[in-house]
């Protein structure tokens, strides 16, 4: 995802395609279809489609959010589109990604959860009513990005800790790996490493945990260099 020129669609497409060649345990239909298209055409942006409002681009945006912390707004949006449009070129997906990045940046800045996140969630629902999250509890959310964020926002705003948020969101069922990934981004940024249960950390593969930590630190250094 990160090439010599920063966050580029070409480097993102190459990385995603390389990941798919490794035969992952699970891959969404939209991701598979548009990566196959990339292989055959070399085009790094899928065609805009009203049918590609899935949650795949949103669930993988944390590295972009870290790397673009402190960047100008237009460059943040361009970086978000670079990774998202490889597989998900859709207005609802774009709006979801923009909102999540804005929330994460506010949390990175140390703002309290409600002040950091609720205004962005409300603004998103105001622009796209499909994202409204107070009307009913979202059980068994599917791959539609609006259902995903409804469940995440409800769980995030109704709990007061990392473990409680993750358990609440994942136990709703449905596309739980994706809702859990997005809730984990936000709750992790809000509550910090010390609030993650030690038994969960001990269950992680040590090598993978070390690689994730090193990547996050490198991305924050990248953001600081660009912002400075």
Residues 177-222 pLDDT 10s: 999 999 999 999 999 999 999 999 999 999 999 999 999 999 999 8
Phi, psi of 187 (to 5 degrees): -65, -35
Contact, 115 vs 82, CB < 8 A?
A: no
Residue 40: exposed, middle, or buried by beta-carbon count in 10 A (0-12, 13-18, 19+)?
exposed
- The continuous run of DSSP H or E covering 63 comes out as helix 62-67
Mean pLDDT of 102-109: 98
pLDDT score at 151: 96
State the CATH class of domain 2-227: mainly alpha
Question: Which pLDDT value is given to residue 106?
Answer: 98
Q: What is the pLDDT of residue 2?
A: 54
How do the domains of the chain map onto residue ranges? Answer: 2-227
Q: What is the pLDDT of residue 109?
A: 96
Percent of the chain at pLDDT > 70 equals: 96
């Amino acid at each position: 995802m990160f090439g010599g020129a920063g966050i580029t669609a070409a480097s993102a497409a190459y990385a995603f395609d390389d990941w798919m060649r490794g035969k992952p345990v699970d891959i969404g239909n939209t991701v598979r279809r548009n990566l196959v298209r990339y292989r055959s055409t070399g085009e790094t942006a899928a065609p805009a489609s009203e049918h590609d409002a899935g949650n795949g681009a949103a669930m993988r945006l944390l590295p972009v959010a870290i790397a673009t912390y402190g960047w100008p707004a237009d460059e943040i949006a361009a970086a978000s589109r670079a990774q998202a449009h490889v597989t998900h070129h859709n207005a609802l997906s774009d709006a979801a990604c923009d909102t999540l990045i804005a929330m994460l940046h506010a949390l990175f800045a140390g703002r309290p959860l409600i002040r950091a996140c609720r205004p962005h969630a409300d603004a998103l629902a105001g622009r796209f009513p499909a994202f409204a999250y107070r009307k009913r509890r979202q059980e068994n959310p599917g791959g539609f990005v609006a259902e995903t964020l409804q469940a995440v926002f409800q769980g995030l705003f109704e709990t007061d800790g990392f473990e409680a948020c993750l358990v609440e969101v994942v136990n709703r069922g449905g596309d739980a790996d994706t809702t859990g990934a997005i809730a984990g981004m936000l709750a992790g940024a809000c509550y910090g490493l010390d609030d993650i249960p030690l038994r969960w950390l001990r269950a992680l593969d040590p090598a993978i945990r070390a690689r994730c930590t090193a990547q996050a630190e490198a991305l924050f250094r990248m953001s600081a260099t660009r912002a400075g």
